Amino acid sequence: MSRSPRDSAVIDPLREFPVSVQPRLPCPFCGGSEVWINSDVDPKFVVCRECSAFGPNAPTVKQAVERWNKRMSAT
């Protein structure tokens, strides 16, 4: 059984080890599933590649994903 990228661990570039994160939910604005974690800078955040919406800032990748997953839909 292959794993999808959504189920994969994220590598924290500052610490260079996998970070256990829950799967990212689709964008609450456009419903797009192409979301990625901006983990190269501080603060960390999740961005939708389809509509460019971004989630709340967080100090860690795990917290950024948790905050993205708690966002409310705009509709």
pLDDT digits (tens, 9 = 90+) for 13-65: 555 545 556 668 899 889 998 888 887 788 999 989 899 998 999 999 889 98
58-73 b/e (C-beta count within 10 Å ≥ 16 → b): bebbbbbbbbbeeeee
Partners of 48 in beta bridges: 35
Amino acid identity of residue 73, one-letter, is S
pTM to 2 decimal places: 0.66
pLDDT digits (tens, 9 = 90+) for 12-26: 555 554 555 666 889
